[in-house]
A = this chain, B = another copy of it.
Amino acid sequence: MAPYEDKPTLTEFGAFSKLYAKVNGKLAGKVNANSKVRMPLAITIRDIAKKAGVSVTTVSRVLNNKPDVSKKTREKVLQVIADMGYSPNAMARGLIWRKTLTIGLVIPDIGNPFFAEVAKGVEHRARERGYSVIFCTTDSEPQREQEAIELLCSKQVDGIIVSLSVESRSVLERLEKQRFPVVQIDRKVPGSNYSAIAVDNVASAYTATKYLIRQGHSRIAHITGDMNTKTAQDRLLGYKEALSDWGLRLEHQLIVHGDFSKGSGILCMEELLSRTPLPSAVFVGNDLMALGAMEAIGKHGLRVPDDVALVGYDNIDLAASLQLTTIMQPKFEMGQLAATTLITSIEKGEPAVGDIILDTMLIERKSSAATVL
């Protein structure tokens, strides 16, 4: 009648764990199957102690590499642990240590290659430092962002890496008051003091737009990301500044609002294709939308870059294959850095200071080339 919900410890139950009789007190003695005493659902430190003929304290000492254990005892205990395949219950430890060695990751969408790559960086670095990662996706909906954070807090994660919409400021403020370790990634919530790992979106959007202008374009459209994010706002800003600096008129009908998804890229591009005269170039808020834009352009029998030049943002894997000119940002490294920053902050017991702004780079490819390669 082994209960299915047993917690695993990667061992089969040995002869040792057939029936559990409480010994340290009232209930010692034989316990039959009908007893109300709950069976231990996995091997515990007590099982190890008994088998090794030592106290739980000693086992605990071995487990935690404390001194004050004779070499002989230590080896004996280690042996039993290996034999039984015991692994300590992280929850029980967490209760005492007030540490779970787990961090939270709150991102809009793991399906977006940008965030997938960021998540990869986070997970890799976290693993190196001995932490696990619980991830939550929010589609940048403030409601879900808050729920995710509350959930992670109740799960007692040691810290959280977040990428939030601008509306989640109050949530962050509450965490700040408790001095809870948080690091922002990709987008910083305005007014929040938590440090962020990001790029200069204004400057790089400016660069992208300037580049198109220099290519001879004067009717340049922009498909924005989710305007609820600082990222999208900043990229729009950079676009506007570039136009302004080069004396180009800002045409509101050339700015359409997407949400960073490929689908929205299609829709937005469709809309732009109905404008007359047609824009000759589009700075798209991210690569995923640029993908959609390409599809829309193709569907209308037009060609990139001949009819419409395109510049994206992110340099996700497919940008190279698609010959999409784009702004490269170091996604994996951002994830790694965020994890490093957060974990250091957790372990030092003090908040990270200052933002880390990483470099971006314009990568020129066919989608915007004046001359076809």
Contacts and interface: CB of A to CB of B under 8 A. Distances in A.
A350 B102 CA distance: 28
Given A4-B349, A8-B153, A150-B10, A123 B100 contact: no
Given A98-B41, A111-B117, A178-B12, A133 B132 contact: no
Interface in A83-128: 85, 87-92, 94-95, 98-100, 102, 109-111, 113, 116-117, 119-120, 123-124, 127
A155 interface: yes
B350 A321 contact: no
B133 A120 contact: no
A177 interface: yes
Contacts of A2: 178-179
Interface string A140-155: 0000000001111111
A133 B178 CA distance: 25
A291 interface: yes
A116 B115 CA distance: 9
Given A136-B127, A153-B7, A321-B294, A109 B102 contact: no
Nearest to A179: B4
A137 interface: yes
Contact of A87 (B11, B113, B154, B321): B154
Interface string A309-353: 000000001101110000000001000000000000010011100
A100 to B, nearest CB: 7
Interface residues of A, number: 76
A178 B321 contact: no
Contacts of A11: 174, 178
A150 B109 CA distance: 28
Contacts of A120: 109-111, 137
A9 interface: yes
A3 interface: yes
A306 interface: no
How many copies of this chain does the complex contain? 2
Contacts of A111: 113, 116-117, 120, 332
B349 A87 contact: no
Interface string A288-309: 1001101100000000000000
29 contacts: A4-B349, A4-B350, A4-B351, A5-B346, A6-B179, A6-B180, A7-B153, A7-B180, A8-B180, A10-B149, A10-B174, A11-B178, A12-B177, A13-B178, A89-B156, A90-B154, A91-B95, A102-B134, A109-B120, A110-B110, A110-B119, A110-B120, A110-B123, A123-B135, A127-B136, A132-B151, A135-B135, A291-B318, A294-B321
Interface of A: 2-13, 41, 85, 87-92, 94-95, 98-100, 102, 109-111, 113, 116-117, 119-120, 123-124, 127, 132-137, 149-156, 158, 171, 174-175, 177-181, 262, 288, 291-292, 294-295, 317-318, 320-322, 332, 346, 349-351
Given A4-B181, A10-B149, A321-B322, 16 more contacts: A5-B99, A5-B346, A5-B349, A6-B179, A6-B180, A8-B153, A8-B174, A9-B154, A13-B178, A87-B153, A102-B134, A111-B117, A123-B135, A291-B321, A318-B318, A318-B322
